[in-house]
Structure 1
Amino acid sequence: MPGEPHTRVERAVTGGGEQSGPVEARETSGVTTAGLLTYVKAHGGPDAVVRLLECAGVSATAEALADQSRWFSYRTRVRLFSAATEVLGDPDVMFRVGAAAMRSGLAHSLLLVLRALGSPRQVFRRLPRAAAKFTTVSTMEILETTATSAKAALHLHEGYEHSALDCDYARGLATTVPEIFGLPTGVITSAECRVGGGRTCIYEVTWERRSRLPRRRRTDGAADRELAALRGQLRTLQSAATELVGSDDLDSVLRQIVARAGEAVLAPAHLLAVAAPGGGPPLVHSAGIPDDQAEVLARRLLGGEDLGPAAVVVDVASARRLHGRLAAVYPSPEASMDDEQAMLAAYAGHAAAALDLLFALDGARVEASRAGALLALAHELAAAADVDAICSVVADALPRVVGCSSASVMLWDPSTGQLQARSAANLLREPQGVFYETPLRPEDTPELVELLTTREPRIIRDADSSPAVRGLLAQLGVTDVVALPLVADGTFLGVATASWEAGEAPEELAGDVLVRLRGVGDQATSALQRARLLETVRHQATHDALTGLPNRVLFRERLLAELSSAAPGAHVSVLFCDLDGFKQINDVLGHAAGDELLRQVAARLRAAIRPCDTVARLSGDEFAVILPGLDDPSDAQGLADRVSGCFAEPFRLDGRDAAVGTSVGVAVHEAGSSAEDLLRQADAAMYRHKQQKGSRAPHHAQAPAGSQGGRQEDGVSA
């Protein structure tokens, strides 16, 4: 007998003493409690069952106590036995309950196993194993057997208080053994409780010889009981199959498989280990085994290890696939019986068929959900207004479509040469902040170099990644990543990633997972292309093609925005200027030189204004500047002087220096005037300045509310 497997299994299912608290110790089979309720109801009616539960003071319901797959504590058993004696008013009731067990239609699988042994004598020889199916608090020993008698000893384990009612029940059960073979009920010829004041009870049962009975009487009862047991076993299997197929929740099905395995094979513990259909840790359900030990035993089961002779193990397999393994576990090797493996295997076949159906339905639901998610993604991407919105939609869709723990979209910035996070899904706030603040550079990240050069997907695992990536994965709490390059017309746009936490990734990431990721990536690439095209069109519609400055349309939009958002007491000013002698530049040096002049003027104006200001080219050689947030209207004069100073140095055109001047006009917005008023005032001031070339300061105009003109000052031409 292999020592280590046996030792581990024995520790898993053997407990010492009684347990208190809401969790029932697994010490008494539900076959015992179900038989008691059947007898009480038959002899006292339904009301007697209600009184029985009240008198016993147990928390279990009648439905739970009638479930043969359940187990209860020794204390619950003794309380029920005492209550039955009181409710039915019969001091010998527990002997009668035991003697009626064979006629109660319970434990069909055990009856068939015992029937196969061939004679009462052979059954008594195996009775210690059968007793272990009903209780874990006592051990039976057969002291001697003959063709018509058997002497048995029942040893109560330490930590339990002896109950005479329990002995009565055991003796009653012993008298039913001959009934299995169609013989009359046995007779107890001697009985002694607590021999020598100890924890052992001894009794002897006798029965009639088979040859003394008429042939009809000898065979009919046995055949009837065997037929009834077969029918009962069939009903049990059919009921279990119906329950399993009728559920659409995997966790519920696995719990039912374990629960109903207790009816297929009576044992104090059962264990089911099923390989997860989508990869990841195995699905483990057990009864009578602590969770931590169940996990260890499940790994051994799925690994094909032998749990030893104390366990009956069968495959949960159909014609399509091997789902896992199911085990009935006993405290010792002597508790299992012949033919139990065949019975457990028959039940496991029903369980495998149910799992086939459930996985097929679940797969169909998942695919339908993913198809719906892809359709929703297409609609959401169509409505996304910009690149950031597209990245957010794609990241949120990836877990639904791919089935990953988290996801992200990172975009390539060619100006800085780095990959920058733009959106993430299912990351906690702190890791998400780290992700956004950690750009990836080719010089630090070989994985990025490979994505840039091959443009092919890459599977990244924390164990074999570069230090930079390994550190980032650790901060994000993920171990497995599939990175898909987003490439449009040969241009590398960025990367979409699907990631998993430790132990959650499917075994195969390069198959179906990658196909679904590509499906999302294709939509993301098209949407990013469209967004960038729209951004280009939008930029062209609002910017000057020659200088890149905002055009008149965008200038007006920003002026309206500044006017509407100006804080109380703050002033918004507009500076208007055009170039002096621009026509001569075009006539003498040509239009190419004129275009270059305009580009250089735009660059100088950008350098002269504040970050919050807006400079625009309105038309030809006319430029304008929005000056928001001025505390004092006179501050506009200093900014106008700075703009005039841009023209102090000559411009370099066509290999020669060209001195170009400017005329500048300024208008400050006051309450009641509109954006159009402000532009007209600045334009008028600029023309006055052009006409007054001797002044050293640009013309400054302030218009009163609603007026078309304003206060005039001397202007200058720079």
Structure 2
Amino acid sequence: MRAARPADRTASPAEARETSGATTGLVLEYVRQHAGEAAVEDTLRRAGVPFTAAELSRPSTWTSYDTRIRLFTAATEVLGDPGVMFRIGADSLRTGMNSSVVVLVRAMGSPRQVYARLPRAVANFTTTSTMEVVESDATSATLRYRLHEGYVHSRLDCDYARGLISMVPAIFGLPPARVVHEECESSGAAACVYHLSWDRRSRWSRRRGGPASADPELAALRSQVRGLQEAATDLVDGEDLETVLRRIVDRAAAAVLAPAYLLAVSAPHGGAPLVHSSGLDPAEVPLLVARLLAGNDLGPGAVTVDVASARRTHGRLAALNRPGQGGLGDERAMLAAYAGHAAAALDLVLALEDSRSEARRAGALLDLAHDLAQAAEAREICEVVAGALPRIVGCGSSGVLLWDPAAGVLRAAACAGLPPEQEAVLRTATLRAGDVPEVFGILTDREPRVISAVGASAPMRDLLAALLLTDVVAVPLLAGTTFLGVVTASWADGEVSGALDADVLARLRGVGDQASTALQKARLLETVRHQASHDALTGLPNRVLFRERLADALAAAAPSGSVGVLFCDLDRFKAVNDSLGHAAGDELLRQVSARLRAAVRPGDTVGRLSGDEFAVLLPRLASPSDAQAVVGRVAAAFAEPFRLDGIPVPMGTSTGVAVHTGCGEDPSATAERLLREADTAMYRHKHRDRPPAPAPRPAE
């Protein structure tokens, strides 16, 4: 159990990181070897810990002091042995002590050297206790072990610590140390004091025998090799880069025991480094990452190594101890060996990621080609291209801006990847060539532009700031020498670093070429459609399109609504052709079409049906009589003479009106009927002043 903490220490709802998985793993392995897997599950159930056996066996899993004591208590109950915690510590060399610890201890040369360094390494196993060496010589030492303030001492924890420190000489092939423990915190002492004594190597080595396989160092080395092989396999089996990076941090604890770990590697395609950590306050991580990647010292308790292979340096890995704490020996060499395996795994995973990325890009390019083949309108083409660019180029957002030659501006036709507010900004922006140097430059030399917010012109810099972007690549869309617009790939702050390379530009050019071809085809198709449905001379809808729009207006009319058709025929048009020539007649028709368009209401349609015959579609009439107001404006449009080659030419028109109220059962048939009725009404108007034709004389 643990007593209430002082007021300045706030308990976290998450599991506190106070006990290394190296400790909990030893307990569960001892239970497994002596009582089986069912006993392990019983121990976990009795302890009520929020972890599985596999999690508690990983060195990277740190648990609270409460969890440790509950686990110790449960193991004691399951095995029915009050002294089992001492035996678990004393037998740890056989039951699975971390192999890197064994190798490091053996490299120190003697038990005396290990005991001298042991207080610095205690934090690798627990953060709730402090150890100090009171005295030591070649075959004896006195250690003082004290639980931190705020925790209630458990005799089980003391038994485990006694067993663990007694087995240090066994790593050197000596009998375990003899431990005399007369002062214990559980009995009210200020600290636990352990008096240790052990045999000299020279005396024991003559009596020592047995196979080489019994050598603790050899067994640890073999275990370490197996661990590295398993780590390499585990890393390579990662499904994606994020999984591999997380496993690197988890596996680092098998190489070097420490309370915390930090990994920072370069992002494959630029941008902010990829960071994974364990045991660190998230608020500390950014500053530590900056110092780690800069090669700065992270403190005396830090072990830092490069994660580098023969191909590239990926980043850096650090095992972090608290100030004043540290390892037993050359942990750097252990961590470096593991980092080498991690780097090789990263090489393979990144190669696989690149292969997958290329496959995704190839698929996206095929999808783009297919979608462009189906798109018929410029707007749809722009939406398809903008939507495909992030997958093909790897950008955060994209856009297609089309050139308006009449206004001299670029306007957004489509975009993807921008938040709604920024998308609205881009869609309403107009980039004038005269105001934005980047637009003028690309319009002049037809070359791509890599634009950064740092070196951009003031208008472009303001636009990028409004769009929350820092980098843009713009590639011109060209149909031969005709400038159609630009396609853009863009990145926000932190999304791109060295990613604006030749490969990105090549992919963007490829997409731009496809977009240019599709836009050119769409414009050609639009021209053909326009020519098929419009009069070539005046640009007005022809008879086919006019009839379609009339049928649509009839179909959309409300039951009480009215739709009208006004039919116009020029008076004495033939005389103009005969006297001034057909060129003058054509000019007259163009001027007539302009005056008619100016005379009608917004939403009305003026069409040229044939020769000198024009028609006006009047949708949404409030009443049939409203058509007469339009008739009056049309008549007024002919009040002033037309000027042809500087000659004033008076011109009149005959007009007929037909109105339909309600919804026709067959809009197409109703449209034909209305056109005939308006034509008939126009004919009556044209011949209103002529005498009636004489009645036919009867045959003699």
Is the pair's TM-score, using the shorter chain for normalization, greater than 0.5?
yes
**1:571 is aligned to 2:567:** no
Name which of 294, 309, 312 aligns with 1:318: 309
Describe how 1:2-151 pairs up with structure 2 within 5 A: 20-151=11-142
Cα deviation, residue 264, structure 1: 0.8
| Aligned twin of 1:592 | 583
Counterpart Cα distance in 2 of 1:65 and 1:449: 65
Match of 1:176 in 2: 167
Q: Secondary structure at the match of 2:454?
A: helix
**Secondary structure, aligned partner of 1:323:** strand
**In 2, distance between residues paired with 1:18 and 1:52?**
30
- The verdict on how the C-alpha distance between 1:190 and 1:642 changes in structure 2, with shifts beyond 3 A counting, is closer
Q: Does 1:439 align with 2:430?
A: yes
- SS of the residue corresponding to residue 208 of structure 2 reads helix
* Length-normalised TM-score, structure 2: 0.92
Q: Deviations over 1:191-250 (max 9, x none)?
A: 322499554221112222333346361575795222211111111111111111111221
Corresponding residue number in structure 1 for 2:689:
693
> Aligned partners of 2:609 and 2:449: how far apart in 1?
50
Tell whether the 8 Å contact from 1:311 to 1:336 is kept in structure 2 after alignment: no
Distance 2:77 2:646 in 1: 120
User: Is 2:114–2:328's contact at 8 Å kept on the other side of the alignment?
Assistant: no
**Contact in 1 for aligned 2:641/2:651 (Cα 8 Å):** yes
Alignment of 1:511-660 (within 5 A): 511-660=502-651
CA distance 1:211–1:604, shift in 2 (3 Å)? closer
* Alpha-carbon contact 1:399-1:407 (below 8 Å) kept: yes
The answer on whether the counterparts of 1:441 and 1:448 sit within 8 Å (CA) in structure 2 is yes
Deviations for 1:36-57, whole angstroms, at most 9, x for unmatched residues?
A: 1222233333333233223323
Query: Is 1:681 paired with 2:677?
Result: yes
Q: Judge conservation of contact 1:387–1:532 (CA < 8 Å) in 2.
A: yes
**In structure 2, what residue type is equivalent to 1:335?**
G
Task: Name 2:697's counterpart in structure 1.
Answer: none
Does the CA-based 8 Å contact 1:179-1:221 persist in structure 2?
A: no
After TM superposition, the structure 1 = structure 2 runs for residues 96-495 of structure 1, keeping only pairs within 5 Å, are 96-194=87-185, 197=188, 199-213=190-204, 215=206, 217=208, 224-495=215-486
Change (3 A) 1:211 1:596: closer
> Matches of 2:478 and 2:209 in 1, distance apart?
85
Secondary structure, aligned partner of 1:452: helix
Deviates more, 1:16-25 or 1:135-144: 16-25
In the alignment, residue 179 of structure 2 is paired with which amino acid? I
Deviation at 1:115, TM superposition (A): 1.1
Instruction: Please say if residues 398 and 490 of structure 2, whose CA atoms lie closer than 8 Å, have aligned partners that are also in contact.
Output: yes
Distance 1:401 1:214, change over 3 A: closer
- 1:37-96 CA-partner distances (Å, limit 9, x unpaired): 222233333333233223323222222222233222222212222233333332222211
Change (3 A) 1:646 1:195: closer
Equivalent in 649, 652, 657 of residue 666 of structure 1: 657
- TM-score normalised by length of structure 1: 0.90
Give % identity: 61
Paired residue type of 1:307: L
Amino acid at match of 1:332: P
| CA–CA distance in structure 2, aligned partners of residues 370 and 342 of structure 1 | 41
Instruction: Map Cα deviations across residues 580-607 of structure 1 (whole Å, 9 max, x no partner).
Output: 2222222222111111121122222222
1:332 to 1:534, Cα distance in 2 relative to 1, 3 A: same
CA distance in 1, matches of 2:199, 2:590: 120
Whole-angstrom distance in 1 between the partners of 2:183 and 2:511: 78
Alignment partner, residue 11 of structure 1: none
Q: Is the 8 A contact 1:18 1:159 kept in 2?
A: no
What one-letter code is carried by the residue in structure 1 that aligns with 2:196?
A: V
Structure 1 SS opposite 2:75: helix
Q: Which runs of structure 1 show a deviation greater than 6 angstroms over 4 or more consecutive aligned residues?
A: 15-19
Closer, same or farther: CA 346–633 of 1 in aligned 2, 3 Å: same
Q: How many residues align?
A: 681
Q: Which amino acid aligns with 1:678?
A: L
Tell me by how many angstroms 1:471 deviates.
3.0
How far apart are 1:166 and its partner, in Å? 1.8
Q: Distance in 2 between matches of 1:147 and 1:195?
A: 30
CA positional deviation for 1:123: 2.3
1:435 to partner: Cα distance: 2.2
Cα separation, 1, equivalents of 2:436 and 2:191: 75
Q: 1-side partners of 2:467 and 2:673: how far apart?
A: 55
- Which whole-Å CA distance do the structure 1 matches of 2:9 and 2:22 have between them? 20
Question: What letter corresponds to residue 685 of structure 1 in structure 2?
Answer: A
Question: Structure 1, residues 317-365: CA drift from partner, whole Å, max 9, x if none?
Answer: 1111100111111113552232211111111111111111111111111
1:336 and 1:584 map into 2 onto residues whose CA distance is 110
CA-to-partner distance for each residue in 1:584-640, whole Å, 9 max, x for gaps?
A: 222222111111121122222222222222221112222222222223323333322
Q: Give the Cα separation in 2 of the matches to 1:372 and 1:133.
A: 49
Q: In 2, distance between residues paired with 1:22 and 1:420?
A: 53
Q: How far is 1:453 from its partner?
A: 2.0
Summarize deviations over 1:494-530 as a string: whole Å, max 9, x none: 1222121211123241422222211111111111111
SS at 1:534's partner residue? helix
The 1:591/1:189 distance shift into structure 2, 3 A limit, reads closer
- Of 116-125 and 270-279, more deviation after overlay is shown by 116-125
Please, which moves more after superposition, 605-614 or 121-130? 121-130
Specify the SS of the correspondent of 1:617: strand
Deviations along 1:556-582, one digit per CA (max 9) or x if unpaired, are 111111121122222222222222222
Shift of 1:305: 1.4
Question: Aligned-pair distance for 1:21?
Answer: 4.8
Q: Verify the 8 A CA contact 1:182 1:218 in the aligned structure 2.
A: no
Mapped contact 1:31–1:66 kept (Cα < 8 A): yes
Which segment drifts farther, 346-355 or 326-335? 326-335
Change (3 A) 1:540 1:52: same
Distance in 1 (CA, whole Å) between partners of 2:631 and 2:274 is 75
Give 1:708's aligned residue: none
Assess, with a 3 A threshold, how the Cα gap between structure 1 residues 610 and 311 changes in structure 2: closer, same or farther. Answer: same
Separation in structure 2 between the aligned mates of residue 122 and residue 426 of structure 1, nearest angstrom: 61
Contact 2:19 2:63 in 1 (8 A): yes
Matched-pair contact (CA < 8 Å) for 1:34–1:66: yes
Structure 2 residue runs without a partner (length 5+): 1-5, 692-700
More deviation in 294-303 or 123-132?
123-132
